[in-house]
Amino acid sequence: MAHSGRARVTAGSRLKPPSRSSAGANPAFLADVLYGLGRQPKTLPAKYFYDLEGSRLFEEITRLPEYYPTRTELGILDASGPEIGSLCPPGAALVEFGSGSTAKFRRLLPHLPRLSAYVPVDVSADFLGAEAERLRADYPDLRVLPVEADFSRPFRLPAGIGERPLVGFFPGSTIGNFEPEDAGLLLARFRDLLGPDAVLIVGVDLVKDVGVLEAAYDDAQGVTAQFNLNMLRRINRELGADFDLDGFSHRAVYNAPLSRIEMHLVSRRAQTAQVRGHPIHFAAGESIHTESSYKYTTDRFEELADHAGWPRARMFTDPRRLFAVFALQPR
């Protein structure tokens, strides 16, 4: 399958990191961390939430009473599954971008006519491997071909898959973790990857009451806070850093003009952390912006998709219009 030649995009950051040649054992991670923490305001790319612990914490989030997106999207897939499935060509291979637990795929599977293969793509390597094994055990006749990759960069589909009609699946509103401009580039890249006859099924979280939004990202049990802090735990473990996790607090706030939830780690005091011998200074109250989660209106998302080469959109939503699932086609 041909690679898309488009610019690189990274969840949570639009900024190009410096050269990675001398960074050591995990050069891309170290370079991205030093780059993000060297900027004002400080940032870290959201894709680094997902080590094994981060993936497990995200699954816990999906079961929280405040986190409405997962159960709402699953409800839409159940209610509209037959119609969504009817748009997918028989014998297609389905490529899921950011597959996580594969729970959404499992709900869609009964509606997909004679699926030839399932290709879960994820950066969270160990979690991906374990979930692919579970899926094989549950569906012995299904071809499961996991790909460990950052889907925002060029990557290859497994051999032979490109000969099949392709269905893309991008649930969870993971697209909301990209800056809108990068989300457009990503959709255009998926169009190139999937080909001119593809269908792309995308989950999109919708603009809504600020109280509902902020509760979903600042739950009473503190699971989202742990998910956020796990980024620093991972940096400590994998990059030999010495962040004091008690020195940072979780903050989630809706930025209404930009229609996005922002997650931050706020330094409780003035402090300095070391990352591989690089001192990182924090003023009291200074934050690291770890994630944006953009919320769309259906019109705004359809416009974004149209500009990215997906002019035909069918929209499925829940009775409260909390979330939308789009089935996009390139012509």
By the criterion CB under 6 A, which residues form the site for ligand SAH?
11, 47, 50, 55, 58, 62, 70, 98-100, 104, 121-124, 150-152, 171-172, 174
Q: Provide, rounded to whole angstroms, the least separation between the CB of residue 327 and ligand AVI.
A: 19
For residue 300, count other CB atoms closer than 10 A to its CB.
16
x-or-dash pattern for ligand AVI, window 67-86, by CB under 6 A? --x-----------------
**Contact present, 318 and 203 (Cβ < 8 Å):** no
Residue 115 or 187: the one with the smaller Cβ distance to ligand AVI is 187
> CA 108, 109, 114: angle at the middle one, nearest 5?
135
Residue 284's SS3 state is: coil
Among 310, 244, 329, CA closest to 282: 244
Residue 282 or 291: the one with the smaller Cβ distance to ligand SAH is 291
Residue 323's SS3 state is: strand
Which one among 32, 51, 179, 291 touches ligand AVI, defined by CB under 6 A? 291
Q: Provide, rounded to whole angstroms, the least separation between the CB of residue 161 and ligand AVI.
A: 25
Q: Provide, rounded to whole angstroms, the least separation between the CB of residue 197 and ligand SAH.
A: 24
Q: Does residue number 61 form part of the binding site for ligand AVI (CB under 6 A)? A: yes
Among 158, 214, 177, CA closest to 98: 177
**Contact present, 182 and 12 (Cβ < 8 Å):** no
Residue 61 or 145: the one with the smaller Cβ distance to ligand AVI is 61
Question: Chain centroid to CA 45: how far?
Answer: 11
> CA 19, 46, 219: angle at the middle one, nearest 5?
160
Among 71, 142, 61, 81, CA closest to 103: 71
Which one among 99, 102, 124, 177 touches ligand AVI, defined by CB under 6 A? 177
219 Cβ neighbours under 8 A, 6+ residues apart: 61, 64, 65, 66, 67
Q: For 139-264, where are the alpha helices, taking DSSP H only?
A: 180-194, 210-216, 223-239
Residue 171 or 180: the one with the smaller Cβ distance to ligand SAH is 171
Joined tokens for residue 42: 């400080």
Q: Length of the chain, please?
A: 331
Q: What does the alpha-carbon distance between residue 240 and residue 205 come to, in Å, rounded to a whole number? A: 36
* Binders in 196-225 for ligand AVI, by CB under 6 A: 217, 224
Stretch that binds ligand AVI, among 170-178, 276-284, 296-304, 306-314 (CB under 6 A): 170-178
- Site size toward ligand AVI, by CB under 6 A: 12
Q: Provide, rounded to whole angstroms, the least separation between the CB of residue 268 and ligand SAH.
A: 28
Q: Does residue number 176 form part of the binding site for ligand AVI (CB under 6 A)? A: yes
* Binders in 131-150 for ligand AVI, by CB under 6 A: none
Stretch that binds ligand AVI, among 173-181, 193-201, 269-277, 312-320 (CB under 6 A): 173-181
Q: Provide, rounded to whole angstroms, the least separation between the CB of residue 193 and ligand SAH.
A: 13
Residue 9 or 198: the one with the smaller Cβ distance to ligand SAH is 9
Q: What does the alpha-carbon distance between residue 159 and residue 23 come to, in Å, rounded to a whole number? A: 32
**Contact present, 90 and 115 (Cβ < 8 Å):** no
User: Which of the choices ligand SAH, ligand AVI, none does residue 224 contact, using the CB cut-off of 5 to 8 A by kind?
Assistant: ligand AVI
Binding residues for ligand AVI, rule: CB under 6 A, are 61, 69, 172-174, 176-177, 217, 224, 227, 291, 293
